[in-house]
Structure 1
């Protein structure tokens, strides 16, 4: 037998090693592209006086309605009210989900913005700055800590109604464009924080903010971003949107979303802002971040041609939810709660429910009903921020192991058959029980433009600490609580907030509160 020289094996060996390396790279790439994303912080401004997640949960759990009469500072909307839906150039409703506080109030100097520029800034940009900063603080991340990093910013926003309002010297002010353009909504956040990741404003109508979550997750999974802010904002400042929607007869006459109810006669508008802080789960675990929830998968698609430009497509909704379940590797029967788009329209609700029936109604047993709800029944349809309101509500449901009531449900729409899934729409708070299995949920957000988004999310593993504060690993006999602000008035307000929190929240350990305030907050010149 002919002997083979050792050197003859070397090319084969090198080729094999090269192949193994390529396979390893491909496996790592595939793993990173499907890595779960941790939600590590969140902030919000929603109707009903919900200026933080704790107030929002209390509001939801107690079944409150955030729809109110048009505030006095929105005179251009109030003055056009006429109950006659056929009246031309009039608004046939006088209630919607408005924020309770005045949106004109803004501490511009905190963000290094001159009063002159602040006047020209759309209040949507102002809200986004405030809520993004709060979301980072609640994640235990100092703004100084992320300066210069690949932090991405993804914001859902639909234009600027503020730009439609008459203002003195509007056409000659140098800040008019930057104050009203959608691209600045995300760009200004990145600029103020000094970060270098992708900065994108997204407008897909009603699905904008959930699409922003999807894009943020993809950016993290690709390694394009190391941290991401995803959010959405919507303010109703001018009458134009109301007038056009009234002409379409798209709005409910009482200004409320009567989700899945037989009386659904259109949707009720709402406003607000929500922002979440996202990170790859492995990085969040490494950095000992507070993991509030885990995004297992997300997806986006389009209705395409159908019955009309703004008419929802049930087939597209079904395909999107099915594909997102596959991405998340979660079978339909393991989804126990579905936060529906649920606008309360006579056309859209039955189409959405039929798609849910086709996805979740195959093998589901009666003892495992799909619980369905929609935050729109509480605060109205926040349009560009609607998906963010749904996401934050869903995180709070996971944290509190409770599903809050769905409002305005007296008689289920006769075209909706709950028993076909089977499904349940709670009208009072119910405990969320899954018999020891991990809690998984789905969130739908469907756009007026035809762009649909869906997210699959779960509670974090029980071994993780899910508190909203960084944890101190040291035991000390005494603790220092460091509070600071940019002026004395702001410092006084901060002290009052901490006092109220310490008076009302007894579950959190004092050492964790102090540790977070000391190392997870930006420190300013006025301190105590």
Structure 2
């Protein structure tokens, strides 16, 4: 279904307006061939400009239409559908609210001019820091929305969520308005319910909002200075009119009178450059209002004074963007912010291997002894992060969940969390063309877990590495390509490269590739868990591990790497412009994969090949060495690998540099995550 757009977009032969989350659908008549293009009536005639979107696919078209309409004429009328039963439920739920009135000196800023006799009450929000008190409060748009999962909300919450979603969906567009019309959708106010005064409500006149304390006065001043858009959701009324007229210092918007009717959401420019209004309902009425605020002036002044820069200009055109991230790493690096806090604090996550994993006294020797581990340390997740698993959420039988390799269970959780953090919900995933790409070189589960006896098919499915990516697609019904990369320490980096390849547009002079390309969505996961002593013993034989229990990256004392575990995931999306990429975490602008070829040995690093892969990725990104300021290195802490890696960087980056390139490695905090290292 298409989002119904009136005068600002296309007309359709059949007009549909399905109010997503608001109940029933409205179907407009088909246009006869001889008729002119049919659209809804003009707002001045009781119609609307834009209809609430039918589903997630229409959000972009809807938000662009609303933003364009507000920019062009100063206001936009959105058609909603709130069932009569929901209106009655709202009327029954608002009774216990703390009703009051505004003092005469501030009333116009909130309720417009020529205010009819009414009472008002501010909504309160549970779970937000700014929720204390019953007066005006400001809430960050980034914290509150957008979120289109509205089917379980109470009717009044549903209406308020619609206001948040409108504000959040306009966020990419308002900074692009011309000249001084531009602003940032930074905050919204708490919802304000305005309603007719009923018999028995005379007591509300004794409660006055806005000037009881200095903090309330400061809040009001910030509101007046920062408000840019007003949103009025007409819940119930018996008619009337809303008059919009330009402010004396504003743009030359036309004065307009809109008839009041239920199920309309009116958004209009309400600052000094915009419109003032007069709300004149007839009889019994109720509306929910909120305001969108710009960045506070003191923040703008501070940013200008400090000349805070966002970094280099972003590349234009079609690019691959990281829209969601999920991490589950040692040191309680559970979620991105916690992971960053752990790194910023310089946390050492290497600890003595806990007895819940295995008894190190049996398998560890301080001296390098064949058949034993040369270290007893590891960077481990908490045991509960591995053992706890909600198999019912993923629709997996209990027997199968027990047999599954633990890292596969964690991959399901982390993969879905990355999708969730990117704004996707389970109900939207079935038959969705999203690729899944895993970096996985196995775990000690194969050696620990027996595959004989009954339920052999379940046991085999639970340990097959080929099932990792396919299982996630199967659980959620994803239909994009899947791939599992098993290239030892580079597994998750190679998985990212494969994802980039499938999502890359074919160039004019490029042969048609033999893998599905032009994929718009992709999910990359890298994992490694330390479940048994087998891996330690195998790596200790050739002396690859360190005696010191730490990765001493770029240090003369480095004598091998320390092991670590964790799972990380990124959700990728190909976007045509910055508007479509709003909310992104990062941009993936260049990627390359190659092989050493004939080098010193199968496992020895090869400097010339490393230089070439760096140049190839820079070539795709369109970057010069001097524009790159930091390199996250593999940096395992080995006497052979680190010098070759730094030498390759030096060979590519040293020419014409204004300043040295920074070199970092998370392995000094986390150890070497092996197949999952590329995600950390």
TM range (shorter): 0.5 to 0.7
1:353 alignment partner, one of 628, 643, 646? 646
Report the equivalent of 1:266: 560
Distance 1:289 1:35 in 2: 14
Distance 2:323 2:525 in 1: 14
Please state how far the C-alpha of 1:224 moved relative to its aligned partner. Answer: 4.2
The SS at the match of 1:231 is strand
1:227 alignment partner, one of 513, 516, 521? 521
Distance 1:320 1:74 in 2: 38
- Given that 1:77 and 1:238 are in contact with CA atoms closer than 8 Å, whether structure 2 keeps it comes out as no
Report the equivalent of 1:369: 660
Distance 2:397 2:578 in 1: 36
The two structures, once aligned, show a CA RMSD in angstroms of: 2.0
The one of the two structures with greater contact order (alpha-carbon pairs below 8 A, sep at least 6) is 1
> Tell me, which stretches of 5 or more residues in structure 2 are unaligned?
1-316, 506-516
Please state how far the C-alpha of 1:144 moved relative to its aligned partner. Answer: 1.8
1:64 alignment partner, one of 322, 325, 347? 347
- Given that 1:157 and 1:384 are in contact with CA atoms closer than 8 Å, whether structure 2 keeps it comes out as yes
Stretch of structure 1 that moved more, 239-248 or 215-224: 215-224
- Given that 2:327 and 2:569 are in contact with CA atoms closer than 8 Å, whether structure 1 keeps it comes out as yes
Report the equivalent of 2:675: 384
Report the equivalent of 1:211: 494
* 2:537 matches 1:243: yes
> Tell me, which stretches of 5 or more residues in structure 1 are unaligned?
1-33, 390-528
Distance 1:159 1:134 in 2: 22
- Given that 1:38 and 1:281 are in contact with CA atoms closer than 8 Å, whether structure 2 keeps it comes out as yes
- Given that 2:442 and 2:528 are in contact with CA atoms closer than 8 Å, whether structure 1 keeps it comes out as no
* 2:391 matches 1:97: no
* 2:592 matches 1:299: yes
Please state how far the C-alpha of 1:114 moved relative to its aligned partner. Answer: 1.6
Change (3 A) 1:135 1:49: same
Change (3 A) 1:90 1:140: same
Distance 2:361 2:483 in 1: 34
Distance 1:274 1:78 in 2: 31
* 2:195 matches 1:195: no
Distance 2:453 2:401 in 1: 13
* 2:608 matches 1:315: yes
- Given that 1:66 and 1:98 are in contact with CA atoms closer than 8 Å, whether structure 2 keeps it comes out as yes
Please list, as runs of the form range in 1=range in 2, the aligned pairs for 1:69-148 lying within 5 A after superposition. 69-75=352-358, 79-85=362-368, 87-102=369-384, 103-148=386-431
Distance 1:271 1:78 in 2: 21
Change (3 A) 1:57 1:170: farther
Distance 2:418 2:367 in 1: 43
1:334 alignment partner, one of 622, 627, 646? 627
- Given that 1:76 and 1:238 are in contact with CA atoms closer than 8 Å, whether structure 2 keeps it comes out as no
The SS at the match of 1:299 is coil
- Given that 2:440 and 2:465 are in contact with CA atoms closer than 8 Å, whether structure 1 keeps it comes out as yes
Change (3 A) 1:172 1:150: closer
- Given that 1:257 and 1:376 are in contact with CA atoms closer than 8 Å, whether structure 2 keeps it comes out as yes
Distance 2:395 2:578 in 1: 30
Distance 1:349 1:181 in 2: 33
The SS at the match of 2:488 is coil
The SS at the match of 1:308 is coil
- Given that 1:139 and 1:289 are in contact with CA atoms closer than 8 Å, whether structure 2 keeps it comes out as no
Distance 1:311 1:109 in 2: 45
Please state how far the C-alpha of 1:172 moved relative to its aligned partner. Answer: 4.8
Please state how far the C-alpha of 1:333 moved relative to its aligned partner. Answer: 0.5
- Given that 1:160 and 1:182 are in contact with CA atoms closer than 8 Å, whether structure 2 keeps it comes out as no
- Given that 2:528 and 2:676 are in contact with CA atoms closer than 8 Å, whether structure 1 keeps it comes out as yes
Distance 1:54 1:115 in 2: 33
Distance 2:631 2:621 in 1: 15
- Given that 1:170 and 1:176 are in contact with CA atoms closer than 8 Å, whether structure 2 keeps it comes out as no
Which structure has the highest helix share of the two?
A: 1
Stretch of structure 1 that moved more, 54-63 or 95-104: 95-104
Distance 1:301 1:168 in 2: 36
Q: CA-to-partner distance for each residue in 1:172-227, whole Å, 9 max, x for gaps?
A: 53311110111110000001110110011111111111111111112122444221
The SS at the match of 2:563 is coil
When the two structures are superposed, what TM-score results if normalisation uses the length of structure 1? 0.65
Please state how far the C-alpha of 1:307 moved relative to its aligned partner. Answer: 1.1
Distance 1:233 1:240 in 2: 17
Distance 1:168 1:200 in 2: 25
The total of aligned residue pairs comes to: 354
Report the equivalent of 2:336: 53
- Given that 1:36 and 1:297 are in contact with CA atoms closer than 8 Å, whether structure 2 keeps it comes out as no
* Structure with bigger gyration radius: 2
Please state how far the C-alpha of 1:49 moved relative to its aligned partner. Answer: 1.4
Please state how far the C-alpha of 1:138 moved relative to its aligned partner. Answer: 0.8
When the two structures are superposed, what TM-score results if normalisation uses the length of structure 2? 0.50
Distance 2:352 2:472 in 1: 32
Change (3 A) 1:105 1:167: farther
Report the equivalent of 2:114: none
Change (3 A) 1:205 1:349: same
- Given that 2:632 and 2:665 are in contact with CA atoms closer than 8 Å, whether structure 1 keeps it comes out as yes
Change (3 A) 1:150 1:243: same
Change (3 A) 1:125 1:164: same
Distance 1:256 1:220 in 2: 37
The SS at the match of 2:333 is coil
